[in-house]
Structure formats: structure tokens, C-alpha cells
Amino acid sequence: MKDLISINDLSVDQINYIFKLAETLKKNPYQSVLNRRSMAMIFEKPSLRTRVTFEVGMHQLGGHAVYLQPSDIKLGERETVADAARNLERWVDIIMARTFKHETITKLAENCSIPVINALSDIEHPCQAMADFFTVLEHRKNFSGFTMAFVGDGNNVCHSLMLLSGKLGVNFILACPKGYEADTAVTAQTKSLMAQNGGSFRIVHDVNEAAVCADALYTDVWVSMGQEEETKIRREKFKSYQLNADLLKKASGEMLVMHCLPAHRGEEITDEVIDGTHSIVLDQAENRLHVQKAIILYLLHKDNEITV
């Protein structure tokens, strides 16, 4: 494992190791273990959580991050992705990239010898999913019998959550309108993983059915970056899939409410739910920092013992 491009890059043992390391780093955030190593942060999309958590994380570990905005680098336009990768590996120790196309991240990884982290693509968001399940673990102590329901379309976050559920033996329900299901290849991979590790996967088109069964209700924006032309039709299709007080009444009293943020309040989730007692949304956001630090350390020290 050189890179973290997909949840599929991680074994169950590696996932659990990263969770344990993140737990340690959360208790003791300032650890000068990177000895001034540098990270290139490539952004094709705007970001709050991803930029701050990676940049602060590198600082807390004794390293340094270089922010490259779209106008700085223009991957595939100003120069090829391969040429950018071959240059960056001469200057920095690790790369994280937040891109429109998954192919851009895979090309970066294929053309350099240093680790590359997928910080969001159109196919997956593995760092988000890892932080999410770490957060669930903090609140529930284990994943035994746990059921997560994702309410929305089968997007990049959903894909990574599905695959991680498959690795950890968690039950997963996707509640979405017809035509907005997850990628068929990711669905097949998830089912295969669950056949090995336990858990179950199903798709429902009635959000109430998901709420009754789930221990966590997870939602995301109905219109992601790059889908703005679909705004009107998506709002119409998804209007009955809102996380609101009426939906939570149908769920367990121990229900966890989750969102990867940013939230479009009043669309996919109401104020009273995202700010309510069931919400662990800010815990998820905080844990991006701790889990990503653990991922960075693992990729840079995987051949050596990590002492923090």
C-alpha cells in the first residue's frame, strides 16, 4: 500500500490500526514526528474541512503543507498530470489531491513514487468515510449489528461508506429515488466484501423504511459541485428524502444523525435535526483532522514502527 486512493486500498487490519493511531493522536495532538516533511495539497474544488484539517494536521505533526489552488497548477491543462507528479515527488514527501475526476488522482499515484491521498474525487471520498466510522466507534464502541442508512444519491461519499461497511461487516442501506443508486461496480464490490466479512447491503426507495431499521441516518447535499445544472430536478426528486423531526420519530431513540458537510440547511436536513441531540456532525468534522493525521503517518512510516 503506497497510496490511499480508495477504501479498497485498506485491509481490515490497516483500518483498525489507523483508528487506534487516530485515537492516540486525538489525545496528544502535537507530535513532532514528521521531521519537517512536506505535503503538496492539490485543490480543483473549494474546501473548508479538507484544507484546514490537512494543513493543520501537517503542522501538528511537525511537517509543512503547500496549498496549490486551481489557478496555480491547472492539472492536465498547463501541463500533464504525469509531469506535475514527477516534479512534485522531487520536492515534497506526500501529495493529497481533491479533484473532479478520479482518474486525475490515479494518474498522480501512477507517476510518482511518493504517497498520494485521495481527498475527494467523483468516485470516492475515503478520508471522509474513515473519519465517519471512527466517529461512530467513539459513540458506539463497536460495529456489532450496526446499521447505517445513507439518505441521498449514490455519490462519492456513499461509495466510500459502502466499501468501508463491507470491510467492517456493517449493515448498509441506501435510501434514494429510482435512478440515483450507487455505481454498479461499487455495489458489487460492497456485496462481495460483505459476503466475506458480514453485514448486508440493500437499496430502498422509501426513506421511512430506512429510518426504522437504521442506527445512523447519514445524508449529504442533493446537488454536489459540478451538478449545478441539475439543481431544479434534483430538488424535486429528493424533496421527500429530507432528514427532519418527523423522520426521526420513526427511528430508534439512540439514532445517530450524520452529515459530511457542507449542509444545505432546509434542503436535505433541517436546523433542528443537524443541531439536535442526535447529531454527531461536528464530531465527524473534528475527526477528519485526527484520522487524516493517522493516515499521513501510516503512509510515511508504514515500514517502520510509529511512536507517538
Which residues are identified as catalytic? 98, 125, 128, 220, 260, 288
Largest pairwise CA distance in the chain: 56
Which positions ≥6 away from 90 have C-beta within 8 Å?
none
Identify whether 115 is preceded by a cis peptide bond (ω within 30 of 0).
no
H helical segments located in the chain: 12-27, 49-60, 70-73, 81-91, 102-110, 126-140, 156-168, 184-197, 207-213, 231-238, 245-249, 271-274, 281-301
Instruction: Look at residue 304 and give its three-state secondary structure.
Output: coil
Which residue do the cell numbers 500500500 mark? 1
User: And the C-alpha cell for 227?
Assistant: 451538478
- What span, in angstroms and rounded, lies between the C-alpha atoms of 76 and 263? 31
User: DSSP label at 96?
Assistant: E
Instruction: Look at residue 2 and give its three-state secondary structure.
Output: coil
Question: CA dist 53 to 21, 60, 180, 293, Å?
Answer: 16, 10, 30, 9
- What span, in angstroms and rounded, lies between the C-alpha atoms of 24 and 214? 29
Which positions ≥6 away from 75 have C-beta within 8 Å?
42, 44, 81, 84, 99, 104
- What span, in angstroms and rounded, lies between the C-alpha atoms of 281 and 71? 32
Element spanning 41, H or E: strand 38-43
Closest CA to 102 of 14, 229, 9: 9
